[in-house]
Structure 1
Amino acid sequence: MPKEHRKRGKKKKPEPEWQPPVQQSAPEPEPVPEKPEPSWIVPGSKDTEDEPNPEAPYGFVDADVKAYFRTVDIQIRDWQENAVEAAASDESDPNEERRMFFVAALTEMAGKEKQLATDPDCSLILERMSYSMDDFVRRVFVDSLIGSYDVLVKHRFASHVCQTLFAVAKQTVAREKRGNLPAIPESSDKGELRTLTELIQDVCEELFPVFASLVMDPFASHVIRALLLLLSPTSVLSDETAQNAMRSKKSAAWKSKQGPLKSLFKEGSNGGAQVIDAPPESFTRAARKFVEVMRSELDHNETRALAADKVASPTLQMLLAVEADQQMTEDPDSLMDRVLVGLITSSRDDPAGIHPMSDYLNTLLRDPTSSHLLETIVTRCPEPAFRILWTTYLKGNLPRIASHPVANFVLAKALERASVEQLAEACGELQNAWGKMIQASRTGVLRAAIDRAATLKACGAEITEAIFAAIQTKAVEDRDMLVPCLLRLQTCQVGLLLSQVATAKATEGAADNTESHKRQDTSANQPTVQGAVLLQSLLRLHDPHNQAVIASLNSMSIEEILPMAHHPVSSRVLDALLESGTVPAKVKRQFVLSFIGNYHLLVDDRIGSRVGDRCWAFSDTYLKEKIARSLISQEQFLAASYFGKFFARNLNLYLLQRRPDEWRTMQSARSRPEPDKASAANAQPVGPIPGKEQKKRKRDASGDEIDVLFSSAIGKKVKKAALVDATELDTKGSSSASKGAILNDLADVMGAIRAAPAEKRKGGRSS
């Protein structure tokens, strides 16, 4: 390449390297004064890593430990579900293997109780194991959680463990009250183990400072209710109320899907189930202190605000019940007086004065949540306060309250404690509203009025007229339709129309037996539970006020009674007819005789066989013989019936046809009440009675070999029922003339054998 020619001129200086421009520093702004933060803002802690996890405040459970307890849960559920097969097995001690397995699980649980209680999977396993713990283990378990109950009762999963502990603790507390304490192994490294009664007191002392906040906590409120139920078992009216107070419907439905929660061991291995007849004095004082803490921590407005809260309202109901049991409702500034807006105080100071109506109580009356609270108040408030409640809030508005979908329950509770004057006022005021209640299927007020009339033995005529007004009978002949119409909650006109339609269909399309027609008929004439309950209450009224139901039943044909006896709802009415103490015996006897000739059709059903058993149990010997003789021709039908064969066992038709005298004696002996064993032992003399000839002692059966062989051979061929009944009659000391033909025949045969020559017995069969 040619050389590059240089250009002439001045040499250019090398350009300097690029450097970033120097920025001039801007003047510092003037400091702005900081505004003070609001008082409700709490700065977060810098040591957030050291704070416990709210889901696991005591740490997480190790994976291996959790896997072990899952196997424990599977094994326990398997044993509980197969409890019937295990009981029928031939094991000598089925509890021994389970006890060893359970002890191993308890050993693994030691020291990890709090972690397991807060774990989502293991908490349910602890609940299942709590039912199988004996008294000593329960005391150890409750003691291991002492000091942490204020945290555990607010935990989502541990709260259910605490609730189950308080539920099963009543058995241990009942045994401790009776002095039945388990033996405790002595050890020098551990302190003294307190009783469960003392431990429950410590739990209450731990919860007293935070009790007001626990009432409104969604997880702790049900634990508080379980604890109050343990401290004051008389604060609830029934077992159903106790179950509703313990768990919500959603929680109860979830728990029912977790398999059986019961003791793993057989009954009797843990001392048996015990019930606290009366709580200890320390429990009564603790329940009283809970009410006092509630009074001191909350003011009037806060207490009234709990009534409409879905979480706190059930707990407030139990506190009001405890307050009523402790006779604290009439104290100044009581919880019930706060909810009633000072009504108890004003009724005590001025009983005859005029009390203004409160809008707050009117709201409680119609609110779905707080109406339950008002039911408790109406049931347990003092009598002067109840009279003011009746006069101010109920009287004059009974038709509107009775037709309200929520307030009618409060009125029904009020009628359960109404006086004769108040019940008469209610019947007169609701005279034109009974029909609307029947059409709306709101029969709680009517049922409460009938039950109260039966209790007070008053206002029977008013109640009877109310029933006829409810079904709208216009003529006397229509009163025979009382049972069909009231059972289906229909008016008399609707009932007559449906019966005419059914009769027309039966006559027109007798051959048309399609399933669609059957479904329409059954759906249109289906008995209702409300109607059956009303008829049962009417049968408990005193004579002659219950004659309306009896006359309606007598007017029904056997073709109408049999479907009624076969239905699981309407059959309860027939049971009440036989069980009611106010129904005359003549009416019951006539009812039993009405089935003569149709008993085989009655008992050929699952429900009808139970009605037949009740008729048989009510009958005397003469009536039983009439029933049995009417079924002799249907013996084969009963033997082929799945349900009728059980009823046929009571008849013993074979013995009736061959030895009727012995059959009557046997039925008389069965219907006679059995004497008490303790009284019979005390009444039986120990020594010989002076002045009375003693019977000779029977010869020992083992003395004669021929008698033993003969009796063993004959016993396999003779009817078992007849032989057992005759033997029972002999042991009960009946006369020799009534021993029966079987024993007489046996005596004759055995006497002939003894009289035979000895050589014939040895030589075998004679020619």
Structure 2
Amino acid sequence: MPKELRKRGKKKKHTTEVEWQSPKEPTKPLPQETPSWIVSAPKTSAEDDTNSDAPFGYVDNDVKAYFRTVDIQIRDWQNAASERDQNDEEADPNEERRMFFVAALTEMSGKEKQLATDADCSVVLERMTYSMDDFVRRVFVDSLTGSYDLLVKHRFGSHVCQTLFTVASQTVSREKRGILPTVPDDKGELRSLTKLVVDVCEELFPVLPSLVTNSFASHVVRALLLLLSPQSVPSHDASQHAMRSKKSASWKARQAPFKSVFEDKNRKDAGTYTPPEVFSQTARKFVEVIRNKLDENETRALAADKVASPTLQMVLAVEADQQMTEDTDSLMDRVLVGLVASSRKDPSATPPVSDYLNTLLRDPTSSHLLETIVSHCPESAFASLWATYFKGNLPRIASHPVANYVLAKAIDRVSISQLTEACQELQSIWTRLIQTSRTGVLRSIIDRAATLGACGSEVIEAVSKAFDAKTAEDRNLLVPCVLRLRTVQDYQAASQSQSQEQPSKGKPAKRPSKDTIEPSVQGAILLQSLLRLPEPHYQIVTESLNALSEEEMLSIAHHATSSRVLDALFESPTVPHKIKREFVLSFIGRYHLLVDDRIGSRVGDRCWAFSDTYLKEKIARSLISQEQFLAASYYGKFFARNLNLYLLQRRPDEWRALQTERHKPAQTAPASQAPVEETPSKKHTEAKKRKRDQGGDEIDELFNAAMGKKVKKAALVESISTESDVLQPNKPTKQDRGLSDVLGAIRAAPGDHKGKRRL
């Protein structure tokens, strides 16, 4: 009988008894019937598609593998284009790239929606969008029509839409100028990109309120608003930050550069982007749709939402640009709790204080919205806002870690009387603001005084009180104190402790405190703002600079942060030419130490560019004794090239004429005219080529003649003069400098002269 095959596991006992259930095992509760009055809302297909990862289907694996190769190839071309841009070489797209790109577009046809919602292929579409021409972009935008409400809410599709609207400004700008691509006959009627963008906005208007609060769609809405109304955003950098989150922007920065692989200098459009008139009407409709679909409480709730607040800021900026803020029930009037309407009816009336606005003032998220409001609200509304929420509370607001930014933005709009009252009200807390490194309010007051051209004495008093500079000697230390954001007493105590900590001979040096030595960016910005004050208030900075020692001045010029103060001295329109000239003369005798540094060499170039011919000659003659030092310096040798000390010592008249020609404005000289300093070198090169073509060296012949035959001194001088005439045919030659010219020619001539006899 064959042996029974045993199975793995424990042998099961066959019992007919009912097994006892352990009480430790939880028993499942019986399902309870839901009450009849509770009815769950049915989920629509649109909501199911929005929450799914692939609302339009998954991409085939072979297609994904192909687009990975496309991504690698485009990255290589973009990196190669970046290297050519750094080398100032022209990027010439070849036919191979175009054929490769056409093949990728052919493979993409019919699969745009699936590729846009794929985690890997969506990035490839973004990269390809920058290389698309106007016709392909129109086809791509048109192929997504009807699905934008789903794409803008998708995690990956939203970035594709955002990139499309970002690069669309180039095509729209060309369409506005009448530059339209040819459309093939078999493609049928294709709308322009301007009309396509308007149709996309019409498609998104019914669901616009939900897009504002969506974490993915809100960035697309900002990109659309920026395309429709670019003047509503103050700067390009701020617009880029508004379109992408910090996480998305940091991720994109780690990728290869997003640029066209066919980009060349002829295709770049000059000037800024100006939207067409239909975009202005569409932007106005954006504001009207949000007004109609949201009530007052829902609008105010958007202010504290981290997702919706940046979008609401752009909408308020567009509303102000369209001059719609003073309309009845405007968005800005809703956020300000009716303050715009009340100020329009009675400007002298004081509205009641709202706890909602006080919350906006101190909230980290909504305070950015209040900054936009104080910058774009009407004048009457700002006067009521200042009198109600700022006046009388300035010390408490300026000391708050969040509210001080809103106050700094509000000071940019105050009048002369309001600025004077603010300076008087903030007298008691200036020192505390400096000690806590909150300099935004003080900087805004200085900038506003420079813009208005008034309140200069109040500003100087505020600066002196902030840094506790009571006497004239204390004011001489103002520049180093402001740079380090320390009062005069704290700076003197820190300097004394640092001098006492200097080690004696044989002992290791202690590492100095960073805040004692390193200048701060905030302090440098304060000094730059002070230099723009009208006369004579800027002298508080220039007098302190003149009182500094040579070592302190060089340390300021050699630091990347503090050297910006010296740049502002040259750029300030209020500082007279005489003081700038005295500053340049103060470095006479120390220019070789100034330019022997990476940052100091840049300051030396600024001084040289500012100087006239007479001042340049004084600088150059002071450096004749330091010629070897400059030649040995890594940074000083570049500054020595501008000096041209060799020409100054031998032909000073030509040196002065050369500097005078360089000092003239660039537009006065014709573009085809060659630089003056290149002419002698070209002639010198041509002369040497002619010598080599003759098969001999005239210098060698001169030496051979001097060694083989007895040559009289006069003949030798005459021959040397002839050689000098060959090198410089248009220059007058003197016999007393003929020998030095021939030695200079020997040094400049290529080849090895070790075996030649010296004179």
Deviations 1:295-316 (A, max 9, x none): 0000011101100010111111
Is the counterpart of residue 668 in structure 1 residue 660 in structure 2? Answer: yes
Deviations 1:434-468 (A, max 9, x none): 11111111101000000000000000000001001
CA distance in 2, matches of 1:63, 1:206: 32
Residue 224 of structure 1: aligned partner:
221
Query: Which secondary structure state, in structure 1, belongs to the residue aligned with residue 589 of structure 2?
Result: coil
Q: Quick one: structure 1 residues 111 and 499, their matched pair in 2 at CA, closer, same or farther if it must change by over 3 Å?
A: same
CA distance in 1, matches of 2:664, 2:173: 37
2:170 maps to amino acid = Q
Query: Which secondary structure state, in structure 2, belongs to the residue aligned with residue 224 of structure 1?
Result: helix
Residue 289 of structure 1: aligned partner:
285
Q: Quick one: structure 1 residues 747 and 100, their matched pair in 2 at CA, closer, same or farther if it must change by over 3 Å?
A: farther
Verify the 8 A CA contact 1:174 1:274 in the aligned structure 2. Answer: no
Q: Residue 191 of structure 1: which of 188, 197, 202 is its match?
A: 188
Residue 389 of structure 1: aligned partner:
385
Residue 164 of structure 2: aligned partner:
165
Verify the 8 A CA contact 1:175 1:274 in the aligned structure 2. Answer: no
Residue 128 of structure 1: aligned partner:
127
CA distance in 1, matches of 2:78, 2:282: 36
Verify the 8 A CA contact 1:662 1:740 in the aligned structure 2. Answer: no
Q: Residue 568 of structure 2: which of 565, 573, 576 is its match?
A: 576
Is the counterpart of residue 73 in structure 1 residue 71 in structure 2? Answer: yes
What's the TM-score, normalizing by structure 1? Answer: 0.82
CA distance in 2, matches of 1:51, 1:392: 49
Residue 744 of structure 1: aligned partner:
730
Query: 1:52-67 residue pairs with structure 2 within 5 A?
Result: 54-67=52-65
**Cα offset for 1:252?**
1.0
CA distance in 1, matches of 2:113, 2:454: 59
CA distance in 2, matches of 1:55, 1:381: 42
Residue 371 of structure 2: aligned partner:
375
Is the counterpart of residue 200 in structure 1 residue 197 in structure 2? Answer: yes
Structure index of larger Rg = 1
CA distance in 1, matches of 2:459, 2:330: 38
Residue 404 of structure 1: aligned partner:
400
2:316 maps to amino acid = L
Is the counterpart of residue 428 in structure 1 residue 420 in structure 2? Answer: no
Residue 147 of structure 2: aligned partner:
148
Q: Residue 454 of structure 1: which of 450, 453, 456 is its match?
A: 450
**Cα offset for 1:249?**
1.5
Is the counterpart of residue 634 in structure 1 residue 626 in structure 2? Answer: yes
CA distance in 1, matches of 2:670, 2:687: 39
Query: 1:526-675 residue pairs with structure 2 within 5 A?
Result: 526-675=518-667
**Cα offset for 1:44?**
6.6
Deviates more, 1:324-333 or 1:649-658: 649-658
**Cα offset for 1:354?**
2.5
Q: Quick one: structure 1 residues 713 and 304, their matched pair in 2 at CA, closer, same or farther if it must change by over 3 Å?
A: farther
Is the counterpart of residue 350 in structure 1 residue 326 in structure 2? Answer: no
CA distance in 2, matches of 1:342, 1:443: 32
**Cα offset for 1:251?**
1.6
CA distance in 1, matches of 2:693, 2:248: 61
Query: Which secondary structure state, in structure 1, belongs to the residue aligned with residue 667 of structure 2?
Result: coil
CA distance in 2, matches of 1:561, 1:570: 10
Query: 1:22-37 residue pairs with structure 2 within 5 A?
Result: 35-37=35-37
Verify the 8 A CA contact 1:628 1:653 in the aligned structure 2. Answer: yes
Query: Which secondary structure state, in structure 2, belongs to the residue aligned with residue 495 of structure 1?
Result: helix
1:233 maps to amino acid = P
1:568 maps to amino acid = A
Q: Residue 237 of structure 2: which of 220, 235, 240 is its match?
A: 240
**Cα offset for 1:533?**
0.2
**Cα offset for 1:317?**
0.5
CA distance in 2, matches of 1:634, 1:432: 52
Query: Which secondary structure state, in structure 1, belongs to the residue aligned with residue 118 of structure 2?
Result: coil
Q: Quick one: structure 1 residues 673 and 257, their matched pair in 2 at CA, closer, same or farther if it must change by over 3 Å?
A: same
Deviates more, 1:595-604 or 1:533-542: 595-604
**Cα offset for 1:97?**
2.6
Q: Quick one: structure 1 residues 381 and 92, their matched pair in 2 at CA, closer, same or farther if it must change by over 3 Å?
A: closer
**Cα offset for 1:273?**
3.8
Verify the 8 A CA contact 2:90 2:264 in the aligned structure 1. Answer: no
CA distance in 2, matches of 1:320, 1:264: 37
Verify the 8 A CA contact 1:52 1:58 in the aligned structure 2. Answer: no
CA distance in 2, matches of 1:100, 1:453: 61
Residue 249 of structure 1: aligned partner:
246
Q: Quick one: structure 1 residues 432 and 717, their matched pair in 2 at CA, closer, same or farther if it must change by over 3 Å?
A: farther
Where structure 2 has 5 or more consecutive residues not aligned to the other structure, the ranges are 1-31, 674-685, 700-724, 735-759
CA distance in 1, matches of 2:653, 2:582: 25
Verify the 8 A CA contact 1:118 1:158 in the aligned structure 2. Answer: yes
Q: Determine what percentage of the aligned residue pairs are the same residue.
A: 66
Q: Quick one: structure 1 residues 511 and 354, their matched pair in 2 at CA, closer, same or farther if it must change by over 3 Å?
A: same
Query: Which secondary structure state, in structure 2, belongs to the residue aligned with residue 524 of structure 1?
Result: helix
Deviates more, 1:522-531 or 1:141-150: 522-531
1:200 maps to amino acid = V
Deviations 1:162-192 (A, max 9, x none): 00111111111111111111222332xx321
Q: Residue 316 of structure 1: which of 307, 312, 319 is its match?
A: 312
Number of residue pairs aligned between Structure 1 and Structure 2: 665
CA distance in 2, matches of 1:178, 1:131: 21
Deviates more, 1:351-360 or 1:295-304: 351-360
CA distance in 2, matches of 1:717, 1:363: 89
**Cα offset for 1:250?**
1.7
Query: Which secondary structure state, in structure 2, belongs to the residue aligned with residue 744 of structure 1?
Result: coil
CA distance in 2, matches of 1:471, 1:326: 44
1:312 maps to amino acid = A
Query: Which secondary structure state, in structure 2, belongs to the residue aligned with residue 433 of structure 1?
Result: helix
Residue 259 of structure 1: aligned partner:
256
Q: Quick one: structure 1 residues 63 and 588, their matched pair in 2 at CA, closer, same or farther if it must change by over 3 Å?
A: same
CA distance in 2, matches of 1:539, 1:741: 51
Q: Residue 524 of structure 1: which of 516, 528, 538 is its match?
A: 516
Query: 1:48-127 residue pairs with structure 2 within 5 A?
Result: 54-86=52-84, 93-127=92-126
**Cα offset for 1:38?**
2.1
Residue 138 of structure 2: aligned partner:
139
CA distance in 2, matches of 1:335, 1:529: 37
Verify the 8 A CA contact 1:415 1:423 in the aligned structure 2. Answer: yes
Is the counterpart of residue 298 in structure 1 residue 294 in structure 2? Answer: yes
Query: 1:488-499 residue pairs with structure 2 within 5 A?
Result: 488-499=484-495
Residue 481 of structure 1: aligned partner:
477
**Cα offset for 1:99?**
2.0
Q: Quick one: structure 1 residues 510 and 521, their matched pair in 2 at CA, closer, same or farther if it must change by over 3 Å?
A: farther
CA distance in 2, matches of 1:166, 1:524: 49
2:150 maps to amino acid = V
CA distance in 1, matches of 2:194, 2:53: 30
**Cα offset for 1:679?**
12
CA distance in 2, matches of 1:353, 1:232: 34
Deviations 1:116-135 (A, max 9, x none): 10001111111111111111
Q: Quick one: structure 1 residues 94 and 35, their matched pair in 2 at CA, closer, same or farther if it must change by over 3 Å?
A: closer
What's the TM-score, normalizing by structure 2? Answer: 0.83
Deviations 1:46-87 (A, max 9, x none): x99x97972101111110110111111111112222325556
CA distance in 2, matches of 1:706, 1:556: 53
User: What is the RMSD of the two structures over their aligned residues, measured on CA atoms?
Assistant: 3.0
**Cα offset for 1:538?**
0.3
Deviations 1:414-433 (A, max 9, x none): 10111001100110000111
Where structure 1 has 5 or more consecutive residues not aligned to the other structure, the ranges are 1-31, 682-704, 719-738, 749-767
